[in-house]
């Protein structure tokens, strides 16, 4: 059987880090099995859905390298939902109800006060035809609930959480359609999963009780349910995911200079027993993907860890991968020399300015200026000008270690630290290197 997964965001905002993790894991699950990863835009909420967010979702997935093999939009599938709804009406699995949000809230509070579970009491099932007619005459339209079957417990083997058991009588009959005829999440999602041939649904553990109700919807529509897996939710370093971290989206990561490979490497294994490592090879991450390694404890998202991973990933990136983002004139040799000192690709411009100049050097004392004059005299351009220069200066001046290397680096780069001078000095070039030594000696 071909594995088919889906990612189903609502276009009411941009993707945040939790959405990205869900999309990634669904993509990896499909990739590992040679299956299909599909995108479903859940845009039935016409008042809040915006086309710019649809475009943003597509662009974000593309930036992450998670491009789907197909796309569906719920707003184009309303006839499909209507037909399935009529079938459920005919079989008595949906019913009309009229309680307002305030009335339902009062019922929940009364139930809690009596020590009972705050679930819907099914009062609407006792309404007669006359009651419905009276509501209709008063201009009150019903909302619709799916009628759960209380006769059998709800069971499934969750690919992350293991064996699951729910008593349907302890769940509220879910509202599936509003009084204005618009759809809520639960039923259209099931209809889409059936029609799209979804074999595996991987989502957050906050959907566990939804799954219990949706399993009965699959059965009521005569379909075999997909496999379900519910992963632990993300939290921050100090517990609950902060609003700042929870709202982090692809645009924010890009602004920080985060590479998609770093974000993927972190989120691929976050919440699993596998170590989070700076693995830029997407195929290696996919081959090791295993739902059996997912834990039940909340997955801790640490932005500092992401920055460390990003630095390590940048050090692995080949020149061809970053060439279009580098300063003009910076070639492969320059990238190889500079990248070990970068946390972000964009930082390359700062180090390239050290190569191209001008630079600003600290104030040197007379003895150090004389040292630079000697350096200028001894500089012999070769295949390793730095090695030749430092060896000659060590022999001529007796300097070694920090007293030898630090002032030379300062005179040639204006920095106290940085890329390996063996690689950096050839980029600066002989003419400019001599000019910088002369200038340092004169200052």
The three-point CA angle 318-319-321 to 5° equals 70
The answer to whether 39 and 11 have CB atoms below 8 angstroms apart is no
Structure tokens at 37: 């990863």
Task: Return the half-sphere exposure (C-beta side, CA atoms, 13 A cut-off) of residue 115.
Answer: 0
Sign for the CA dihedral angle at 97, 42, 7, 259 comes to: negative
CB count within 10 Å of CB 117 equals 12
CB count within 10 Å of CB 63 equals 15
243 is in an annotated binding site: yes
The three-point CA angle 156-27-289 to 5° equals 70
Structure tokens at 227: 């496999």
DSSP per residue over 382-419, as a string?
A: SSSHHHHHHHHHHHHH---THHHHHHHHHHHHS-SS-S
The answer to whether 156 and 164 have CB atoms below 8 angstroms apart is yes
Task: Say which residues have a Cβ less than 8 Å from residue 287's Cβ, sequence separation at least 6.
Answer: 32
State the Cα–Cα distance between residues 183 and 176, nearest whole angstrom.
Answer: 6
Numbered residues of the known binding site: 243
Numbered residues of the known binding site for ATP: 243
């Amino acid at each position: 059987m071909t594995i088919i997964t889906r990612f189903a965001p609502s276009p009411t905002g941009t993707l945040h880090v939790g959405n990205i993790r869900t999309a990634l894991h669904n993509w990896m699950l499909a990739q590992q099995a040679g299956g299909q990863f599909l995108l479903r835009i859940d845009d039935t909420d016409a008042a809040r859905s915006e086309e710019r967010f649809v475009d943003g979702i597509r662009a974000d997935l593309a930036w992450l390298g998670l491009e789907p093999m197909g796309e569906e939009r719920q707003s184009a599938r309303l006839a499909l939902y209507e037909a399935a709804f009529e079938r459920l009406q005919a079989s008595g699995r949906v019913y009309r109800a009229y309680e307002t949000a305030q009335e339902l809230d009062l019922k929940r509070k009364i139930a809690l006060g009596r020590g009972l579970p705050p679930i819907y009491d099914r009062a609407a099932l006792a309404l007669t035809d006359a009651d419905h007619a009276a509501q209709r005459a008063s201009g009150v339209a019903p909302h619709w609930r799916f009628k759960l079957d209380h006769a059998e417990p709800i069971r499934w083997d969750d690919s992350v959480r293991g064996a699951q058991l729910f008593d349907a009588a302890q769940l509220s009959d879910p509202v599936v359609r509003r009084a204005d005829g618009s759809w809520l999440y639960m039923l259209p999602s099931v209809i889409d999963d059936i029609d799209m041939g979804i074999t595996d649904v991987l989502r957050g553990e906050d959907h566990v009780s939804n799954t219990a109700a949706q399993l009965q919807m699959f059965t009521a529509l005569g379909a075999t349910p997909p496999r379900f897996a519910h992963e632990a939710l993300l939290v921050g370093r100090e517990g609950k995911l902060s609003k700042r971290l929870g709202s982090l989206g692809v645009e924010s990561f890009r602004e920080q200079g985060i590479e998609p490979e770093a974000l993927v490497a972190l989120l691929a294994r976050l919440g699993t027993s596998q170590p989070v490592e700076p693995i830029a090879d997407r195929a290696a991450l996919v081959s090791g993907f295993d739902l059996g390694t997912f834990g039940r404890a909340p997955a801790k998202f640490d932005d500092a860890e992401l920055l460390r991973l990003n630095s390590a990933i940048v050090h692995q990136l080949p020149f061809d991968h970053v060439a279009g983002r580098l300063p003009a004139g910076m070639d492969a040799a320059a990238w190889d020399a500079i990248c070990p000192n970068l946390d972000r690709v964009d930082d390359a411009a700062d180090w390239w300015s050290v190569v191209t100049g001008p630079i600003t050097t600290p104030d040197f004392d007379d003895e150090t200026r004389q040292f630079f004059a000697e350096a200028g005299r001894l500089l012999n351009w070769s295949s390793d000008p730095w090695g030749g220069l430092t060896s000659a200066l060590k022999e001529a001046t007796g300097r070694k270690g920090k007293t030898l290397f630090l002032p030379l680096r300062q005179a040639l780069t204006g920095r106290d630290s940085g890329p390996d001078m063996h690689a950096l000095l050839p980029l600066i070039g002989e003419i400019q290197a001599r000019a910088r030594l002369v200038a340092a000696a004169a200052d």
